[in-house]
Each structure stands twice: as C-alpha cells, then as structure tokens.
Amino acid sequence: MDSPNLIRRMADNKSKLRKSEAKVASFVLEHANDVIKMRIVDLAASSDVSEPTVIRFCKALGFDGFQSFKLQLAQQLGLGGVYTQFAVDDKDTVEDLRNKVFDTTVGSLLTVRDELDPVVLETAINTIRKANRVEFYGFGASGSVATDAQHKFFRLQLSTAAYTDPHIQHMSAISLGAEDVVVAISQSGRTRALLESVSLARDAGATVIGLAPQNTPLSEQCSIPIYVNMEEEHQAFAPVSSRIAHLVVIDVLATGVALHRKPLLKEHLKRLQKSQKALRNMDQD
C-alpha cells in the first residue's frame, strides 16, 4: 500500500526510482516548501536533471504532470502532514530541539492518521465492543501501551487485562475462546514471543487485532491488522513517535467503543468520577 502522504510516499519509493528521478526526490524531500513556488525549469536546474526527468518523476508517483504533483504537495504542506526524518546537530539550541521533536512527532502522527483505514478501525471497534474479554499483549515500550490500553477499556466496563510477560501471555492465550479478543501491539511486528502468543490465541479461537507495521509477520498473522507504519529509531536522542502513535490509535478504538456503550456508561462514569474525587480529597488531608 502506497502512503497517501506524498512526502512519505516519495521517501518510501525513492530507491525504486531511476537514478536521475531519485535526485529530484531527494531535492523535494529536503526543500518541499521551496518546490511549491518553483517552475519545472527551476526544479530541474536545482536537481541537476532535465525537464523531461522531472515529468517522469511526477508520473512515477502517479501524477499526470508537474502541476498536479505540486498541487498535492502544497495541500500536504498546508495540512501540516509532513513526514520528516528526525536529525539533531551539535549546534542545536534547546529551542531547536523543542521544535524538531514536536514537528517530527506531529508530522509522524498525521502521516499515520492518513494511512489508517476507517473500515478496518470500525471492524476493530465493533469486535472489541462485542467481546467477552479483551486482552492486550506487548513488550518493552509496547508493553506500556498495552497497560495504558487496559486502563482505558477497563473504564468502559469491559473485562480487560494487559500482559507483558511472555509466559503469562502464553498461559492467557490458551485459555481464550471464540468470544475473546487479543490486541497485540508491536513497533517492529517481528517479536518472536509475541508472535507465539498470537498464534496460541488464534488456535484457541480468539480474534487478534494487531497494531504493527504493514508487511510484517505480526500484521500478516492477525485477524484484523491495523497498520501503524513507523520507522524504528535506534538513536538514544530520537523521539519515540511510534509509541505515541500506538497510544493515539488505542484512543481512537477506545473512543469508538465508548460511543457505542454510551447509554451504559453514563451512570458508571459519574460514580467513577465521584470516587476518584473522594480519593483526591483524602490525599490532600
């Protein structure tokens, strides 16, 4: 699936382009805001290619010419949905770091948003709200997302659990049935222990919803795959946008389930809010 985000699509397909067309892609990725003001002759000169090469580049990305390409690029920039690679410099100020971390995270979230299939999300929401039991599996950073998800869905009066230990996951998975749902969360989609847990859950008859990148073993093994296509960052100073993206997708699912269960939740949430207020008052005494 090609991303609907043009910047992301160029980055993903750059290696598949001809060498001269890739030069155009590199220039656009580095100077997107300047390109929307350029004529075709300007982009060709700046990329050190011919004008026909620019046309071929546009057509390779599915456009009928430079103007239609430039129009979508301008729309993408106007919406703020710019996929950016995070990079810091030794000379960066704290203000630079603030802007880069926030811009990269926001841009990544908007890219994920545009790539999420509403039909798949609706199927996942309907599956969860009808479930007898919902269990969340994840390890590491994804384990903290699983725990957060359990808290959110527990408030919706669903029977929920979160497991971040492979042995407990396995024991849980084999005890599930046809009315149960597992939500498996992974930044890589390749964690062996998680794949084994998912396999056991499916063998037991449970429906598995996966939050993972597309074309990974986890997304291919899930009953309902929700693609969260994020580059894994292994630099110590890179923002963990993939974890934040998973949290936001969980929020979308929880909000969808809450809307369906609204009549049942009204009094429950009032009582919950009242009890938490009482606990806060006790802490202040």
| Tens digit of each residue's pLDDT (9 = 90 or more) over 5-63 | 788 888 888 889 999 999 999 999 888 888 989 999 999 999 999 999 999 999 999 99
Give the pLDDT confidence score for residue 260 in this predicted structure.
86
Return d(Cα 207, Cα 225) in angstroms, integer.
Answer: 11
Kindly indicate the confidence band of residue 279, based on its pLDDT and cuts at 50, 70 and 90. low
Cα dihedral: 232, 140, 190, 168 (round 10): -170
Domains of the chain: 1-115 (1.10.10.10), 117-269 (3.40.50.10490)
The answer to whether residue 196 scores a pLDDT higher than 90 is yes
pLDDT-wise least confident of 71-75, 101-105, 135-139, 153-157: 101-105
> For the segment 249-277, what is each residue's pLDDT rounded down to a tens digit?
999 999 999 998 876 666 665 666 666 66
Mean pLDDT over 112-123 rounds to: 93
Kindly indicate the confidence band of residue 64, based on its pLDDT and cuts at 50, 70 and 90. very high
The larger pLDDT score, comparing residue 118 to residue 112, is at 118
In the chain, where do the E strands start and end?
133-137, 160-163, 180-185, 207-212, 224-227
The answer to whether residue 203 scores a pLDDT higher than 80 is yes
Give the pLDDT confidence score for residue 53 in this predicted structure.
95
CA distances from 148 to 127, 139, 194, 235 (A): 19, 13, 18, 25
pTM of the model: 0.72
Name the strands in the sheet holding 133-137, side by side, starting at the edge strand that comes first in the sequence: 160-163, 133-137, 180-185, 207-212, 224-227
Give the pLDDT confidence score for residue 180 in this predicted structure.
98
> For the segment 120-167, what is each residue's pLDDT rounded down to a tens digit?
999 999 999 999 999 999 999 899 999 999 999 998 989 999 999 999
The answer to whether residue 178 scores a pLDDT higher than 90 is yes
User: Which residues neighbour 263 within 8 Å (Cβ) at sequence distance 6 or greater?
Assistant: none
Give the pLDDT confidence score for residue 6 in this predicted structure.
85
Return d(Cα 204, Cα 135) in angstroms, integer.
Answer: 14
